[in-house]
């Protein structure tokens, strides 16, 4: 383990950022607190005495470089990532340190692959976008389910969330994404991203026990449509969302998540069920746990630890399933996820 190394957390005072700071400390790292709001950083620092605080604005290169000075890596938890990802990646390339973010924004993740793929590969840098519940976890499960297959016809990612109480950051990122695609929906079909205005279907999905069959919204597209086909040879990637969660996200009056345990997690539970199909054969992998925001922290921190200890398979802009040993990565999260693989 790369213990006692400093890791800059940008957006450290946000809902997910707080989980990341806490988890870094639990893993033996030293978080460096950064973000756009000096007051919120000071409040957070009072909860974590002794940690360095470095405010930084994404349009201020000097402050960004200072925020990363001396750090071994940076984790970007500050959305909307359409605004923060590119400046933080540029800063990480200048500092020659790995970059990880927790972006769920489809467009921001697409931009990261498109804008920085060649530069990061030429520099031997490791940049991992969407290292989070949406995007990263589905990709790890899909890669694990693929096993020895080199290609597949379809990947289906079904999200069985008991509820979704979105943070303000989630809502802000959603607004930016909707504006960027002019209100249209997006899907990955025939080997490419496709924008459309079709109504989304409602159907039944058979989740693993004990969740069982649930009603889901079809083509409720998440970041998996960027991460999965970035390295897996597949022509169709479709995702689904439980109606309870979709309704909570759509309702502007749904409150933010509320902690119910000593770890700060909400009562929300989830099952992510991934089905990979090739011809008439089907493989499946699923993961269950509690609180989609809280589980993002061990995903992102495990990624940083593996990068810093050289347990990677690739350089450049890479998704979780490409750069890490996916089955081993999931096993490392056994304290946070219950994983079931059915080849």
Ramachandran region, residue 303 (left: φ > 0; alpha: ψ -120 to 50; beta: rest): alpha
The pTM for the full model equals 0.97
- pLDDT at residue 4, as a whole number: 79
Average pLDDT over residues 244-267: 96
Residues 149 and 288 in one domain: yes
Residues 274 and 206 in one domain: yes
Cβ atoms of 284 and 293 closer than 8 Å? no
In terms of residue numbers, what domain contains 70? 6-132+296-323
Q: Which residue has the tokens 């609180």?
A: 291
Q: Which residues contact 210 (CB under 8 A, 6 or more apart)?
A: none
Q: Which helix (H) or strand (E) holds 48?
A: none
Residues 174 and 119 in one domain: no
Q: What is the CATH number of the domain that holds 44?
A: 3.40.50.720
User: Measured between alpha carbons, how far is 260 from 243 in angstroms, rounded to an integer?
Assistant: 23
Of all residues in the chain, the percent with pLDDT exceeding 90 is 97
Read off the pLDDT band of 191 (50, 70, 90). very high
Tens of pLDDT, residue by residue over 86-111, are 999 999 999 999 999 999 999 999 99
Residues 228 and 310 in one domain: no
Residues 303 and 250 in one domain: no
Residues 313 and 276 in one domain: no
User: Measured between alpha carbons, how far is 7 from 1 in angstroms, rounded to an integer?
Assistant: 14
Residues 172 and 270 in one domain: yes
Average pLDDT, the chain: 96
Residue 287 lies in a domain: yes
User: Measured between alpha carbons, how far is 131 from 103 in angstroms, rounded to an integer?
Assistant: 7
Alpha-helical segments (H) within the chain: 15-26, 38-47, 61-68, 81-95, 106-123, 138-146, 168-180, 224-227, 243-250, 292-308, 320-323, 326-332
Tokens of 51: 């940690």
For residue 343, is pLDDT > 80? no
User: Measured between alpha carbons, how far is 39 from 51 in angstroms, rounded to an integer?
Assistant: 15
Exposure on the CB side of residue 144, measured as CA atoms within 13 A: 25
Alpha carbon 116 to its chain centroid, in Å, reads: 18
């Amino acid at each position: 383990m790369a213990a006692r190394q400093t890791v800059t957390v940008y957006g450290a005072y946000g809902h997910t950022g707080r989980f990341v700071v806490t988890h870094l400390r639990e893993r033996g790292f030293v978080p460096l607190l950064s973000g756009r709001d000096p007051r919120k950083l000071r409040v957070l620092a009072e909860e974590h005495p002794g940690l360095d605080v470095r405010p930084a604005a994404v349009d201020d290169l000097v402050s960004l470089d200072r925020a990363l000075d001396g750090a071994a890596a940076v984790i970007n938890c500050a959305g909307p990532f359409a605004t923060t990802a590119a400046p933080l990646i540029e800063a990480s390339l200048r500092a020659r340190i790995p970059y990880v973010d927790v972006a769920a924004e489809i467009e921001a993740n697409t931009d990261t692959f498109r804008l920085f793929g060649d530069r990061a590969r030429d520099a031997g840098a490791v940049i991992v976008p969407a290292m989070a519940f949406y995007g990263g976890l589905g990709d790890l499960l899909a890669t694990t389910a693929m096993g020895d297959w080199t290609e597949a016809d379809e990947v289906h990612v079904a999200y069985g969330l008991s509820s979704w109480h979105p943070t303000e950051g989630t809502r802000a990122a959603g607004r930016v994404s909707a504006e960027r695609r002019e209100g249209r929906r997006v899907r990955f079909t025939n080997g490419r991203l496709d924008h459309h205005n079709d109504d989304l279907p409602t159907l039944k999905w058979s989740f693993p026990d004990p969740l069982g069959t649930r009603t889901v919204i079809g083509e409720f597209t998440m970041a998996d449509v960027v991460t999965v086909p970035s390295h897996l040879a597949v022509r169709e990637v479709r995702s689904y969302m439980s109606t309870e969660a979709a309704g909570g996200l759509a309702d502007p009056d749904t409150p933010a998540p509320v902690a119910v345990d000593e770890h700060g997690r909400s009562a929300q539970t989830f099952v992510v069920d991934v089905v990979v199909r090739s011809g008439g054969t089907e493989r499946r992998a699923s993961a269950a746990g509690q609180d989609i925001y809280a589980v993002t922290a061990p995903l992102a921190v495990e990624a940083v630890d593996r990068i810093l200890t050289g347990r990677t398979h690739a350089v450049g802009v890479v998704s979780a399933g490409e750069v890490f040993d996916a089955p081993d990565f999931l096993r490392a999260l056994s304290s946070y996820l219950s994983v079931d693989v059915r080849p």
